[in-house]
Chain A
């Protein structure tokens, strides 16, 4: 198992464009999380899936953000009409239900909105 993977690793886009990120969790993990990390801060929770169901969403997740996990495996995070304030590292993590909240993180996708 190679761990949690995220693509792309870096994305530069112009303000107003849409972007989509992908996360592939550890294969047997049924829980998947998205976080956002800005420079000098810790990760902030965005949303959480158990299998294909999106069970929690942070107030940080504006209506321009949408996440899916259609088959309970990989997940996508889309940001529509990007703004400069969306520039951040977007982290994905996965865990196995019942493992005392032990989350495994991917390397992240760094988004720069110009």
Chain B
């Protein structure tokens, strides 16, 4: 079935470091791919999305490119800030998933000053 695999955390980085969180997916058809972020004590928020191969989603300095050939959607940011500390979830939704999302297990990021 459809699924998402995320790199395990937790990840700890110093401020201004480069961030990569890996996400790969398994799906039949052509899913849409998403990154959601969950700040402490808050609900999930959509960070960015891509709906077809080679699309790049971007928001708040974060980017992810939909790579069909490697079935990946890695999240990157060039220079992280303390305020980026949160849990990041990769997710997919597609023509074969009905109307539900499949989420990865989440990657906890802590940025230290």
Q: In the complex the two chains form, is B44's CB within 8 Å of A105's CB?
A: yes
Residues of B within 8 A of A100 (CB): 32, 49, 51
Chain B residues with Cβ below 8 Å from A104 are 46
Is B43 touching A43 in the complex (CB atoms < 8 A)? no
Q: Is the CB of A102 within 8 A of B101?
A: no
Say which size band chain A's interface belongs to. Answer: 20 to 34
A45 CB within 8 Å of chain B: yes
Partner of A101, one of B36, B44, B89, B101: B101
State whether A48 touches B46 (Cβ < 8 A).
no
- Shortest B1–chain A CB gap in Å is 12
B108 nearest CB neighbor, chain A only? A40
Cross-chain pairs A/B with CB under 8 angstroms, 11 sampled = A31-B99, A41-B106, A42-B103, A43-B101, A43-B103, A45-B101, A48-B100, A50-B99, A91-B43, A103-B101, A105-B43
Which A residues lie at the B interface, using CB under 8 A? 4, 31, 33, 35, 40-45, 48, 50, 55-56, 58, 91, 93, 100-108
